[in-house]
Chains A and B, each alone.
Chain A
């Protein structure tokens, strides 16, 4: 009887192991097909299922082609209908040890809006990575698939050629492998981007909220700790590593300045002066000399732009506005700042005098952000005069006035010529003024337009539309207005990520931000744009843009602009928001959301130009 039991048990175990082997699979997916935790593809990406085969060759190898000086990405999905422990390893046989592979576990966020799971946050893990399906911390009932993002970094000094490798899954004592072939292309991605993508944020409170472990465990004043400044630098670094820049505004709508964002002032009137640079220099010094990025694959480089703390209440007290004392305070302190920056050699960053306040927040009587009432332009002219007085004309330090404009942009372009030189424009309204990018560019101004990140509930290629539009328009960049606010519970009750492209690593024991799938896709898009643009020495930029637009969504360049509406010829304080929406009808209709394969098609075009297409 006992022997019979043993035989039954043996047979049961045999069956179970066979079932494990049969059930556990490893699948590779292109970057634009985001998996769900049940073995499928998330609904918004299902239109691109044909892309699935694009990743494989006839021998069912994962085929990657990448330029030097950049990344190539794909996804791996571990699937099993039975729970169990597993390990996943990704390796490439690179005798020169140049190629670097980064592995990330994809977090599946439950979005409250549609009650579905979407992968977005990428948790860095080391290969080989061992875990359990269902993934314990993601807590998904009936989870049968765990996804991983794979970034393959090809340095500029990598040798062109073909490398082999594999992804190997071990599950239930058995293993399956997916062969990988990487072709390193001869061309190098230009180090400079043709589109600056900016990631904006406000203040610093979000850090203590999102990094509760570090904040609560710190015994002193965390806001003056090395840990805080390292964390700030990590935010800059994560965006820099993804070919973007980062802005952090350091003051509120009534002029309150966070102590980390400004030197300490003392005195008043003609005696107002800078008393202490300590916190400011700890915050910004490594960013202005580039040493904050010493460990970056892109190399150390000073940040190209930064908000200054300047606002109507700093450095001059608004109590003195319009009086000689206001001018004295403003000019004295700015002159000291110029001297300090010059002595430190901080001459590669554009220091932005930027007014973010709106009168609806009752701090000041004019709109610094998005002027609607033309009378407010006079304040910009006055600050332009003060800035000119404070900074020597031949200073090597780059102080610039930046304005974020919408309603009244056309007037401001004219009236603030030579005063404002960095323009951050409403994309919708800029679309009325097709000549503006060239007019402003010809006089040396920088032009960006702004919007917000797409939600994870849009398709995976949605984020590529923004940098593409900037390039097609011929403007210098695009600004995501908020990128560090994933909501109160991004892990289990997600708001979709319309204000986040990075997440706090606190949950995973990291005092650093972690990236998202959308940020990775955006980076890869920026790589492609830099490559595409580099072909303008061989053919006209217009033809490159036309073909890219066509491949993206079968559009023509004209489809990306709106005709000048009649409202453009009436004073902006008489415009209504609903009329602006109506005036954008042409682009709204012509540029329906791109398909999932939109950017894949543009990427293939870039590969084709570079001679690396399949």
Chain B
């Protein structure tokens, strides 16, 4: 009885606080995203994901030429068949939530431990981690955890945002990437329209 009372009190206080700043306001979304991410781990084909980024793109990803500041970007290429198969799956996964969400694909980069790249993004332009325009970036600890342990990890570092990270497996059983199922308390219809 006391637990129920405390829970009710907590829920009342939660409802009074500004939703944007209150992590508990994200609880329903978090639960749905965790469920989505669990399904995503099963549905996303890691073998297909491994074919997306082309050898040419990988070759140039870390090259630097002071005379050509866009060298990496200009040589970024993907296998469109693998990309499309994966993207379609990610979009369908996002339909599992009752609110707008995105499911992004992230993959580590062979030969560059500590680095990771976003490989597929989606139409709401949401990610808690992507640095706009970066082809690769530093691995963050929660992603490292997912890649090493296969555990799902929920991240709510940015106020009003929730991301659930879940592993992606290939046919050998290796973890080859992760998905980020993401949403936020208040959608911004203009963010990243650029």
B189 & A577 in contact (Cβ 8 Å cutoff): no
> What are the residues of chain A within 8 A of B121 when measuring CB–CB?
253-254, 361-363
A319 & B194 in contact (Cβ 8 Å cutoff): no
Residue of A nearest to B133 (CB): A361
> Is A437 interfacial (CB-CB < 8 Å)?
no
State the interface size on chain B (CB cutoff 8 A). Answer: 36
The docked-state distance in angstroms from the alpha carbon of A512 to that of B52 is 46
> Is B19 interfacial (CB-CB < 8 Å)?
no
> What are the residues of chain B within 8 A of A205 when measuring CB–CB?
190-191, 193-194
In A325-379, the 8 Å CB interface with B consists of 358-366, 372-373, 375
A363 & B190 in contact (Cβ 8 Å cutoff): no
B92 & A319 in contact (Cβ 8 Å cutoff): yes
B194 & A362 in contact (Cβ 8 Å cutoff): no
Kindly identify which residue among A258, A362, A372 contacts B119, using a CB–CB cutoff of 8 Å.
A362
> What are the residues of chain B within 8 A of A365 when measuring CB–CB?
52, 78-80, 83-84, 87
Q: Smallest distance from the beta carbon of A214 to chain B beta carbons, Å?
A: 16
Residue of B nearest to A366 (CB): B80
A258 & B190 in contact (Cβ 8 Å cutoff): yes
> Is A321 interfacial (CB-CB < 8 Å)?
yes
A202 & B83 in contact (Cβ 8 Å cutoff): no
B91 & A360 in contact (Cβ 8 Å cutoff): no
> What are the residues of chain B within 8 A of A255 when measuring CB–CB?
123
Kindly identify which residue among B76, B78, B80, B189 contacts A258, using a CB–CB cutoff of 8 Å.
B189
Kindly identify which residue among B67, B77, B91, B194 contacts A359, using a CB–CB cutoff of 8 Å.
B77
The docked-state distance in angstroms from the alpha carbon of A251 to that of B194 is 6
A319-B92, A359-B78, A365-B78 given; A256·B87 CB < 8 A: no
A258-B189, A319-B88, A372-B74 given; A362·B120 CB < 8 A: yes
> Is A318 interfacial (CB-CB < 8 Å)?
yes
Q: Smallest distance from the beta carbon of A183 to chain B beta carbons, Å?
A: 47
> Is B125 interfacial (CB-CB < 8 Å)?
yes
> Is A313 interfacial (CB-CB < 8 Å)?
yes
> Is A257 interfacial (CB-CB < 8 Å)?
yes
A223-B189, A577-B71 given; A203·B194 CB < 8 A: yes
> What are the residues of chain B within 8 A of A252 when measuring CB–CB?
125, 192-194
> What are the residues of chain B within 8 A of A581 when measuring CB–CB?
67
B123 & A318 in contact (Cβ 8 Å cutoff): yes
> Is B22 interfacial (CB-CB < 8 Å)?
no
B123 & A313 in contact (Cβ 8 Å cutoff): yes
Interface size range on A against B: 35 or more
B124 & A256 in contact (Cβ 8 Å cutoff): yes
- Which of A204, A257, A317, A577 is most buried by chain B, counting CB atoms within 10 A of its CB? A577
A256 & B65 in contact (Cβ 8 Å cutoff): no
> Is B128 interfacial (CB-CB < 8 Å)?
no
> What are the residues of chain B within 8 A of A364 when measuring CB–CB?
83, 87
A256 & B73 in contact (Cβ 8 Å cutoff): no
> What are the residues of chain B within 8 A of A313 when measuring CB–CB?
123
The docked-state distance in angstroms from the alpha carbon of A396 to that of B2 is 73
In B92-134, the 8 Å CB interface with A consists of 92, 118-125, 133
The docked-state distance in angstroms from the alpha carbon of A576 to that of B67 is 10
> Is A538 interfacial (CB-CB < 8 Å)?
no
A321 & B84 in contact (Cβ 8 Å cutoff): yes
B135 & A360 in contact (Cβ 8 Å cutoff): yes
A317 & B77 in contact (Cβ 8 Å cutoff): no
Kindly identify which residue among A202, A375, A573 contacts B193, using a CB–CB cutoff of 8 Å.
A202
Closest 9 CB pairs of A and B: A365-B83, A577-B68, A365-B80, A203-B193, A319-B91, A360-B76, A202-B194, A578-B67, A360-B73
A selection of 27 A-B contacts at a CB cut-off of 8 Å is A202-B194, A203-B190, A203-B193, A208-B190, A252-B193, A252-B194, A253-B121, A253-B192, A254-B121, A254-B124, A254-B125, A256-B125, A257-B193, A359-B77, A359-B78, A362-B118, A362-B121, A363-B121, A363-B123, A365-B79, A365-B80, A365-B84, A365-B87, A366-B80, A577-B67, A578-B65, A578-B67
Interface positions of B (Cβ within 8 A of A): 52, 56, 65, 67-68, 70-71, 73-74, 76-80, 83-84, 87-88, 91-92, 118-125, 133, 135, 189-194
